[in-house]
Copies of this chain bind each other. A is one copy, B any other.
């Protein structure tokens, strides 16, 4: 336990991949906020499956139905619940995975965690589909943050071993933010798009998959947000990011590379500009020092593993006989059905949404 998160903005996610609906309860939104529902839908569309050959063929329109906490076009301040129907369910596709655990998926760990009673169809509660409610919640948080001058933007930092450029950590320009926000395949260096897409489609054709990295920046947070020791900004953001399936690493600023620098290179030297703003010449620490924001962009990168669903043959175990006290057997599995050869491009809006939720929680929780 638990599928609830947050100290100030509490998020409770529920549902399974092949249940009737999935959803989220958001508790702690300010009252009277006029939600731009079209913009929420646009964010959900960025994550939506079935758009092209790089994602699963599962077709979901992913329209959220707001059940509570929303009255006359505005938030009420009481819990906002929204549900999303699961329309394109093909449960028959998944009967084999009940007994044959798919490598890289939570089939085995979920089986143990829930004594075999979890809904195994399509990964159940572990499905990447459960990121749809997170995007919904994050889209609302983001709108409120934008009113307060905080923007969140990200780009595909890598597809497999093809790397995009990094953000300039000291200055992320508005027109770049604008361009990335409206792209389905956001890159700083757009010339890499064809090569990256070719890598994804090659993986698809060879019944395989690829992963990558996403770099995300939160711009406009004042200095002084976060707390020392246990409630560092990095703790809160990382706790949220590892809630997203397939994330296997996170680094702030130069992250793992800062460990290779000398102190004299790593330290972000400071200055005051003509307007009295205290800034730093570099931002190797990614906008967080001692767990607390310093007013520079908060920048972090996450590693996304390749989609575990692949159609090629893999070794695994079969637990069919376990239910009748028999033995676990070694076997092989080919995961058929509808898969994403790469989820990195769809995960961009999930990472941004999760960041929005985490930032929202911190700003209201000092």
Question: Within 8 Å of chain B (Cβ to Cβ): is A49?
Answer: no
Q: Select A272's contact among B130, B254, B276, B329, beta carbons within 8 Å.
A: B329
Q: Contact between A3 and B126 (Cβ–Cβ < 8 Å)?
A: no
Contact A294 B108 (CB under 8 A): yes
Q: How far is the CA of A162 from the CA of B356 in the complex (A)?
A: 37
A287 and B68 CA atoms in complex are apart in Å by 28
Q: Is the CB of B114 within 8 A of A77?
A: yes
Residue total for A at the interface (Cβ-Cβ under 8 A): 146
The answer to whether the Cβ of A21 comes within 8 Å of any Cβ in the partner chain is yes
Q: Tell me if A103 counts as interface (CB < 8 A to partner B).
A: yes
Interface residue ranges of A238-261 to B (CB < 8 Å):
238-243, 245, 247-256, 258-261
Asked if A171 CB lies within 8 Å of chain B CBs, one says: no
The answer, yes or no, to whether A97 is at the interface (CB within 8 Å) is no
Cβ-defined partner of A239 (8 Å) among B211, B238, B310: B238
Residues in B with CB closer than 8 Å to A158 are: 259-260
Q: Which residues of chain B are within 8 angstroms of A186 by Cβ–Cβ distance?
A: none
Q: Is the CB of B267 within 8 A of A314?
A: yes
Alpha-carbon gap, A358 to B164, bound state (A): 35
Instruction: Write out the residue numbers on chain B whose beta carbons fall within 8 Å of the beta carbon of A226.
Output: 109, 113
Q: Are B266 and A255 in contact (CB under 8 A)?
A: no
Least Cβ–Cβ distance between A141 and chain B, in angstroms: 14
Q: How many copies does the complex hold?
A: 4
Contacts A258-B306, A269-B103 given; indicate if A3 touches B79 (C-beta within 8 A). yes
With an 8 A cutoff between CB atoms, is A67 at the interface?
yes
Residues of B with C-beta under 8 A to A308: 263, 266-267
CB of A304 within 8 Å of the partner chain: yes
- 15 residue pairs A–B, Cβ–Cβ below 8 Å: A3-B230, A14-B78, A15-B68, A103-B269, A104-B289, A105-B289, A123-B290, A203-B262, A211-B260, A232-B242, A238-B238, A248-B252, A248-B256, A271-B330, A285-B305
Q: A79-B125, A160-B261 are known contacts; what are 14 more A-B pairs with Cβ within 8 Å?
A: A1-B8, A2-B27, A12-B25, A19-B67, A23-B68, A83-B83, A109-B224, A109-B294, A208-B263, A238-B238, A259-B306, A263-B306, A265-B306, A271-B317
Interface residues of A (CB under 8 A from B): 1-5, 7-8, 10-16, 19-23, 25, 27-28, 31-32, 67-69, 71, 74-81, 83, 101, 103-106, 108-110, 112-119, 123-126, 130, 158, 160-161, 203, 208-213, 222-232, 234-236, 238-243, 245, 247-256, 258-272, 276, 278, 280-281, 285-286, 288-294, 303-310, 312, 314-317, 327-330, 365-366
